[in-house]
Amino acid sequence: MNFIQTRGCESNKQSSVPFSEAILSPIASFGGLYVPEFLPNLGEEFLTKHLNSNYKELAYDMLKKFEIDIDDEVIKKALDLYDKFDDKNNPVPVVKLQENLYVSELYHGPTRAFKDMALQPFGVVLSSIAQARDENYLILAATSGDTGPAALETFKNSKNIKVACLYPNGGTSDVQRLQMVTEDASNLKVIGINGVFDDAQSALKLLLASDEFKVSLKKHNTLLSAANSVNFGRIIFQIIYHIHSYLELVRQNGINLGEKVYLNVPSGNFGNALGGYYALKMGLPVEKIIISSNENNVLTRLINVGKYDIRDSDVVSTTSPAMDILKSSNVERILFDMFGSERTKELMNDLEVNNFYELTPRELVKLQNSFDADFCNGNEGKKYIKETFEKHGYLMDPHTATCMKSFNTCSNPNIKTIAYSTAEWTKFSPVIANALTGEVDTEDINALVSISKEASLEIPETIKELFNKEIVHNVIIEKEDISKEILKFL
Ligand SMILES: *Cc1c(COP(=O)(O)O)cnc(C)c1O
């Protein structure tokens, strides 16, 4: 299958490209993104067949449906990385919280957040293509805290790959920062930026589109790619776990095959939700995808009133920082799927020029056919964390907690919900400790200890040892100096 572009194609560019090309240079012409030419249909047969498969078998067959130009051996090697997750037989456990609410846990990989679901296999695929082509790549990653550690982990010591990882200084938890700045390998560079995540992501998009930067890289015999979810190579691995979670509900006798469910997704850049939408389009029985946000509630307003409006908005810092985003990149892929490339180009231009676009009433109806949305503020989130722990003995992180609000306000209780848990408690411990005990301590190390006592949970070794590791990256710079710093590294 080939990949086409969300904003249409400039006449001097190739109108469609194979998967390998789409992931090596993820920004298409006119600044658009790559999307599959069509979505394969799974059909009930596929679901029935995979009721008894394990995660890797399901993943392999799903990927084959896309007919991507990646060798079988590479796909298998990539999927083998799921063996490193907590339970080799099931990397994504689905836990029943109450009669109509299940939690799909996406955080059982090496860096304890859902970014591992896609970045682990993506790393193998990208580095294999680079080696096969005998090319060297610089992978840019902008992170609000979880993509960075996952990208560094997957590309550590990868052949033909160097990584430059940009994080907002002060915008991540201690654990997230330590996961990055202690990652020691000669092909990795971690850079703190004085700014917020949107600054890091904008800088990344500018560099990806800059011919001047590409020419400078060429002098180092290096090409440029990105590990953010603008890259379809990540999205493709994020369709799988939605199908898996659905099948888990069938296996647990929570639903009958064919029965519709809600997918409730804590959303920032919309990669996770887009994976759910593609699963729906491919035939997974989904009633709606419910988009959960924090106080940065642009997506809630888009879905409820049809306006993407960031004219007077600044990002606010919240208790769920991985969702502190105003320009949610993957919404563009939804616009394309629903309204086509001409309209997408128009809307995205409006957003770039005016920080605003508005859907027509008819377009809004179409969007609301597949999506619903609400947002949850930090205090409500902490209340849900405490309540869920006291009622069900279940500990959730502040991102997952945003789903509890929309579960109450958006869903019909007769339809079962799969809510996605995107991070382990260890990554956002100060907020959780505050929710459980009221303590106000900003140090992760103390919060981890107090939660582990309160909830009788072990702190995982990989988290404990972070606090004793040597810090190997200590560069903090202004965003204007990013390209200079990266070229110095090369
Ligand atoms: C990245 C992230 C999100 C947001 O996911 P998107 O795919 O960007 O919408 C939510 N929660 C956590 C913990 C994350 O790391």
Is any atom of ligand 1 closer than 6 Å to the C-beta of 105? no
Distance CA 162, CA 207 (A): 15
Q: Which of 176, 264, 272 to mutate to test the pocket of ligand 1 (most atoms within 8 A of CB)?
A: 272
Domain with residue 85: its CATH number is 3.40.50.1100
Query: Range of 429's domain?
Result: 76-112+234-460
On whether residue 3 sits in a domain, the answer given is no
On whether residue 198 sits in a domain, the answer given is no
Residue nearest to ligand 1 atom 1, measured at CA: 322
Span from the CA of 172 to the centroid of ligand 1 (angstroms): 13
146 CA: nearest ligand 1 atom: 15
On whether residue 18 sits in a domain, the answer given is no
Dig out the tokens for 151 from the structure: 């990208």
Is any atom of ligand 1 closer than 6 Å to the C-beta of 296? no
CA of residue 423 relative to chain centroid, distance: 11
On whether residue 331 sits in a domain, the answer given is yes
Stretch (H or E) spanning 309: strand 307-309
On whether residue 418 sits in a domain, the answer given is yes
Distance CA 340, CA 212 (A): 31
Distance CA 32, CA 230 (A): 9
pLDDT tens, N- to C-terminus, the chain (490 residues) = 999 999 998 888 888 999 999 999 888 888 899 999 999 999 889 999 999 999 999 999 999 999 999 999 999 999 999 999 999 999 999 999 999 999 999 999 999 999 999 999 999 999 999 999 999 999 999 998 899 999 999 999 999 999 999 999 988 889 999 999 999 999 999 999 999 888 888 888 889 889 999 999 999 999 999 898 889 999 999 999 999 999 999 999 999 999 999 999 999 999 999 999 999 999 999 999 999 999 999 999 999 999 999 998 888 999 999 999 999 999 999 999 999 999 999 999 999 999 999 999 999 999 999 999 999 999 999 999 999 999 999 999 999 999 999 999 999 999 999 999 999 999 999 999 999 999 997 789 999 999 999 999 999 999 999 999 999 999 999 989 999 999 999 9
- How many domains does one find in the chain? 1
Is any atom of ligand 1 closer than 6 Å to the C-beta of 275? no
On whether residue 437 sits in a domain, the answer given is yes
Angle at 375 between CA 372 and CA 381, to 5 degrees: 130
On whether residue 453 sits in a domain, the answer given is yes
On whether residue 178 sits in a domain, the answer given is no
Stretch (H or E) spanning 287: strand 286-293
Which amino acid does the sequence have at 330? N
Span from the CA of 91 to the centroid of ligand 1 (angstroms): 18
Is the C-alpha dihedral spanning 225, 276, 425, 253 positive or negative? Answer: negative
